[in-house]
Amino acid sequence: MKGLLIKDWKLLKNQGRFFIVIIMISILISLFGSRTYSGFTTSYLTFALSMFILSTLSYDNYDNGMAFLLSLPISRKIYVKEKYLFALFLTFGFWLIFFLIDLLVFSIRYSSRESLQILCQSPVYLALILLFLSYSIPLHLKFESEKGRMMSFGILGLFSLGIFCIVRLGMLAALQQILTESLSMIIGASAVFCLLSFGISYRISVKIMEKKEF
């Protein structure tokens, strides 16, 4: 598995300049962006960068490369395990980088109460990103790059539509009320739900890979 992790790390490193640019943008937004979008923008960038895990799946599939990869001394289960580990490593890694940037910049720009308010949103975005990866990885493994990507974003679109409907129907205030009243319970439940989704997603992905032919 270490060999596969090195492979994905090298693929990531070859895109180094792109990641440096994104981190610079994040710093600039935190420094000069409006307060409303500060927390959201950096979380959105975490989301964009975490998508790289899906790109590694595309790179592996490119030019029928998966056939060669699976002829190496690794099992299909190890391949899937590596992808999930890399996804966790990447998402937490980027999230932590952006969180620390925000923490530093907001402590300069805003009062400590305001900073805390913005930063509290950050774990929620992290949970959402993990949830997105939980259904996207199996879809990419099953349907491969283009189709998988379209389906992932289709589901994301439906999710966004759901949020939009909640806002339009005036249920946002009620939702916010529930969130405020039982915040710690909701955070705990979300964490458990995310980990559970990730675990279930892993098992589904192993099944998909074991059935697949190359």
Determine if 127 is a binding residue for other proteins (CB under 8 A): no
Single-letter code of the amino acid located at 115: S
Binding test (CB under 8 A) with other proteins, winner from 18, 32, 65, 175: 65
Piece of 103-111, 119-127, 138-146, 206-214 that binds other proteins (CB under 8 A): 206-214
Site membership for other proteins, residue 191 (CB under 8 A) = no
The single-letter DSSP state of residue 34 is -
d(CA 94, CA 86): 12
d(CA 35, CA 132): 26
Q: How far is the CB of 51 from other proteins (least distance, A)?
A: 16
Q: Contact between 62 and other proteins (CB under 8 A)? A: yes
Angle at 124 between CA 121 and CA 126, to 5 degrees: 115
The DSSP symbol for 145 reads: H
**DSSP characters over 50-80:** HTHHHHHHHHHHGGGHHHHHTTSS--HHHHH
Residue 6 interacts with other proteins (CB under 8 A): yes or no: yes
- Residues 70-109, mask of contacts with other proteins (x by CB under 8 A): xxxxxx--x-------------------------------
Instruction: Enumerate binding residues for other proteins (CB under 8 A).
Output: 2-4, 6-7, 10-11, 14, 59-60, 62-75, 78, 211, 213-214
